[in-house]
């Protein structure tokens, strides 16, 4: 009985190792699509953005859907719709960021809805196109927090 138990235990271990190896092989080719490949974001507070808004050397990139930007946005913000990238089209996101940052060497403040998915897709795209990531910040809380804190500073 002990031998049977030992054989069964060994088989379970072998099958577990094989399954882990298969998962690792499947994930090896996933590239930037995996969440583990996300570039770390750095943040700018609402107050910090308020202090530098309109200052030379800073560009506010509103990466929400273009229709939402048209409805309301932070004054001076540039629309760069990253909806396609959020939905998995990383090439479209990189193209959008290449166009949005052409000729820029500014500090970028990425504004999305809440500072999460759209900001992460944008940060990943900016890194992929070689933008200086020491100059890329995500607005804490995104446009939702901005419009609640500064309702009179929304166009």
Judged on CB neighbours under 10 Å (0-12, 13-18, 19+), 97 is buried
What is the chain's Cα-based Rg?
22
Of 74, 112, 121, 126, the active-site residue reads: 112
Q: 57: part of which helix (H) or strand (E)?
A: none
112 given a catalytic annotation: yes
Cα dist from 61 to 13, 31, 123, 153, whole Å: 51, 26, 11, 16
| Active-site residue set | 112
């Amino acid at each position: 009985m002990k031998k049977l138990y030992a054989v069964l235990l060994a088989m379970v271990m072998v099958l577990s190792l094989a399954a882990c190896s298969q998962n690792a092989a499947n994930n090896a080719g996933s590239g930037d699509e995996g969440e583990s490949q996300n570039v770390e974001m750095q943040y700018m507070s609402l107050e910090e953005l308020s202090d530098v808004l309109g200052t030379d050397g800073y560009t506010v990139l509103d990466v929400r859907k273009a229709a939402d930007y048209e409805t309301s946005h932070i004054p001076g913000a540039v629309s760069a719709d990253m909806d396609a990238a959020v939905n998995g089209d990383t090439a479209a996101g990189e193209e959008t960021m290449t166009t949005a940052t052409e000729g820029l060497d500014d500090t970028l403040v990425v504004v999305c809805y809440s500072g999460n998915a759209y900001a992460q897709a944008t940060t990943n795209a900016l890194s992929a196109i070689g933008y200086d990531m020491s100059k890329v910040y995500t607005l804490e809380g995104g446009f939702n927090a901005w419009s609640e804190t500064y309702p009179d500073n929304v166009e």
